[in-house]
Chains A and B, each alone.
Chain A
Amino acid sequence: MNPIALLPWQSVAALLAAIVALAGLPILPDGMAPASTALVFLLVLTGALVPLLRLPTATESFVLFAAAHGPVYLLLSGITGHEGQAGLAFFALVAASWLIAWRLVTVLSLARPTSRPMGTLLRLVVPTLFGVWLLLLWEAIVRGAGIPFILLPPPSLIGVRIANSLPILAADVQQTIFKSVFAGYFMGCAAGFSVAILADRFVFLRRGLMPIGNMVSALPIIGVAPIMVMWFGFDWPSKAAVVVIMTFFPMLVNTVAGLTAAGSMERDLMRTYAAGYWQTLWKLRLPAAAPFIFNALKINSTLALIGAIVAEFFGTPVVGMGFRISTEVGRMNVDMVWAEIAVAALAGSIFYGVLALIERAVTFWHPSVRGG
């Protein structure tokens, strides 16, 4: 049987890419020793052909890992300092190692973990590899194609900038996240929740408020940012105000929806006990509403960050993530801009992740949590 037919498509594509690279040699006009060039090809071929050996999953993954990351490491260290000189061969080889990495991820996704910690590890490793490759490809393209760093800096420079600017970043995080976002988030969610309870208590209020609330949550509320700055001044209160307004309605709408989530039978049960409003609320309807409330908390976590940062475009003290982003663009320090963005994404992910963990703990009983 034709051995090519036995290969997964990623390997076949990687081989094709290697052939293209051979045609486009040299990898770089200067700056890449013949030995490293040979090593790159050797690793790529190994990675592409290893599936033929039908090795055990662990061994195969290990080989694939080396065969994907070795070449890309060599290529990236070769291109550094020779930005913009990359030819076809460079990109073809990057593509080949990326395909091998894809093969690796496929192998890992299909792997049947033998133990629990092993399974958790796999669940973390697979997406991590994906993210790492996003950065590697970015680095390779920016350096390889010689894109001016003031348009798009490579991740490595962003990393260096983060490492060198920790105090500034910390001050910005302190200003934007710990002051504006947290204050606004807690006030907005608390207010939305309280009004939801009120609306639940008083039918008239609910009937009047809900159509309005549903509508308002679709509006481009972020547009009030300049007005809030005008009203509440430059410092964090105006940002918090934007966040309050942005988070209020999703919380209101979700909580009210959640409060109707308890089944009618469960509610009738409470009636047969002649339970009061607050007893029913506390023992039945709030627990049943928890998944909805957490949904709102999660949506709001991303809204809050966006709101605070955009509001900082319209006037701030000289600290804060939004301030930094907009001024550093003006100063051509694009690496600093990306450093702030990376920090914002990290902070946002942590915020979200923590909420997701709390949600799992609190709504442990919900089928969506139990099942997964």
Chain B
Amino acid sequence: ADAVTLQLKWVTQAQFAGYFVAKDKGFYEEENLDVTIKPGGPDIAPEQVIAGGGADVIVTWMAAGLAARDKGVNLVNIAQPFKKAGMQLVCPADGPVKTEADFKGHTLGVWFFGNEYPFYAWMNKLGLSTEGGADGVTVLKQSFDVQPLIQKQADCISVMTYNEYWQLIDAGYKPEDLIVFNYSAMGNDLLEDGLYVLEDKLADPAFEDKMVRFVRASMKGWKYAAENPDEAGEIVVENGGQDENHQKRMMGEVAKLIDNADGKLIIDAYERTAQALLDQKIISKPAEGAYTTAITDKAID
């Protein structure tokens, strides 16, 4: 079997259920692949891992992928399982922020490590300074939970539809207690989880073939996971995920972002993402050759 190492961008959870399902259900084996899945963490940059040769393919957000490409790590998007963004900003309804116009002078929590780009793009669009003060917003690098809101340390915080949002619900907030700014709904979304490989490696037909098989099996995994969220949740927990109910629920939410599980990149969304990054000077020159549809074209028919 051909060995493939996949580096995730975060800890084991249903956000990556498709890959775990594909492995667990033997979809990779069917394609004659031996896949190792490496979980990520708050300080693991998958781009760095792949540049150092620690992985063949990585899951990362497009903003981070393009930023790395800009720095000379020639990453290429080969598939885009997540069609919509899961990120949103939430504020308590009894707090000071009700609409975008209320942001001024308030404190907003954001994750960093590549996840901050959509936020900065949005603020850029609103014309708000992120340096604090009365006319701008104060940015916090928030922790990876919802405490900042519960402890009232921030006026609004970032959550993922499939993860932290539910932690708020668990903490006693009802959906009507929360005001939600969803990046996808606002049209401010930047593409999230996609699969990336190094450009020069892709030039090798054998590697390309391996990736075709990998993407095919992975998408099969995603499809299965979307159809059987409870089973997928259990598989994730068996692979080290925490809190079974939470994972099942997460799988249900993630399924909404996956759409029809064909993994095809929507070119419009790509263009918009690239443009937003350029506007904000997160990348210094227009991205070129940062994606290929060849793999998904061959893998999915």
Contact = CB atoms under 8 A, between A and B. Distances in A.
Contacts of B47: 150, 332
Contacts of B116: 327
A326 B153 contact: no
Interface residues of B, number: 29
A330 B151 contact: no
Nearest to A317: B140
Contacts of A317: 138-141
Nearest to B114: A330
Contact of A150 (B72, B114, B138, B147): B72
Contacts of B153: 233-234
Contacts, number: 79
A329 B48 contact: yes
Interface stretch (B63-71, B164-172, B224-232, B257-265): B63-71
Chain B interface mostly helix, strand, loop or mixed? Answer: loop
B141 A315 contact: yes
A72 B58 CA distance: 39
B240 interface: no
Interface string B139-168: 111110001100101100000000000000
B210 to A, nearest CB: 23
Q: Which range holds the interface residue count of chain A?
A: 20 to 34
Contacts of B71: 150, 332-333
A285 B156 CA distance: 54
A149 B52 CA distance: 10
A327 B140 CA distance: 12
A330 B139 contact: no
Most chain B beta-carbon neighbours within 10 Å: one of A313, A315, A317, A334: A315
14 contacts: A148-B51, A148-B52, A149-B72, A150-B71, A226-B143, A234-B142, A234-B154, A315-B141, A318-B140, A323-B112, A327-B141, A329-B113, A331-B114, A332-B47
* The 6 nearest A-B residue pairs measured at CB: A330-B113, A315-B143, A332-B71, A327-B112, A233-B153, A330-B114
Interface of B: 42-43, 45, 47-48, 51-52, 64, 67-68, 71-73, 112-114, 116, 130, 138-143, 147-148, 151, 153-154
Given A234-B148, A234-B154, A332-B48, 19 more contacts: A148-B73, A149-B72, A150-B48, A150-B51, A150-B71, A150-B73, A151-B48, A151-B51, A233-B151, A234-B141, A313-B42, A313-B43, A315-B142, A316-B140, A317-B139, A317-B140, A327-B112, A329-B45, A329-B113
